[in-house]
Amino acid sequence: MGRDESIKSEWFMYVVRCSDGTLYTGITTDVTRRIDEHNGSKKGAKYTRSRRPVELVHWIDFHNRSTASKAEAKFKKLSRKEKLRIISGELSDENLENVIGGQSREAFERWWCEMMNSRGINKLE
pLDDT digits (tens, 9 = 90+) for 16-56: 999 999 999 999 999 999 999 999 999 999 999 999 999 99
Domain ranges of the chain: 8-118
| pLDDT > 90 in the chain, percent | 39
* pLDDT exceeds cutoff 50 at 94: no
| pLDDT > 70 in the chain, percent | 65
CATH number for the domain running over 8-118: 3.40.1440
* pLDDT exceeds cutoff 90 at 112: no
In eight-state DSSP terms, residue 26 is E
Helix runs in the chain, H state only: 31-40, 46-49, 65-77, 80-88, 96-98, 105-118
Residue-level pLDDT at 93: 43
Residue range 5-10: average pLDDT? 54
